[in-house]
Amino acid sequence: MAVVIRLRREGKKGRPIYRIVVADKRCPANGKYIEEVGFYDPMIEDPTSYRLKFDRVDYWLKQGAKPTETVSHIVKKVSQLVAKENKP
């Protein structure tokens, strides 16, 4: 089974909210998914509004899941923010 980490659009027209999910590549973009690993609200400019379960993302990447380009950028941005916050 080809597994991907991608965005799943939710919300109202003109007010999108995205959930970062692990899904089978053959399923529709807003169809069934295996696990939800994060949350992204593009209407909020503050990058600290992203929510991501790093342990689950790492698990799925080790299992061979391929993230989309957008998800890769989000993971990179959030991991940089976490690294800055943890610096003394």
Judge contact between 25 and 4, C-beta under 8 A: yes
What residue segments make up the domains of the chain, in order of their start? Answer: 3-86
Which CATH architecture fits 3-86? 2-Layer Sandwich (3.30)
Write out the H or E segment, with its range, that includes residue 18: strand 15-24
Residue (of 67, 23, 14) closest to 42 by Cα position: 14
3-state secondary structure of 28: coil
Instruction: Provide the pLDDT for residue 24.
Output: 93
**Which tokens is 7 given?**
């965005």
What's the rounded Cα separation, in Å, for the pair 19 and 54? 14
What's the rounded Cα separation, in Å, for the pair 66 and 80? 20
pLDDT in tens, the chain (88 residues): 799 999 999 999 999 999 999 999 998 888 899 999 999 898 887 777 788 998 999 999 999 999 999 999 998 888 887 777 776 6
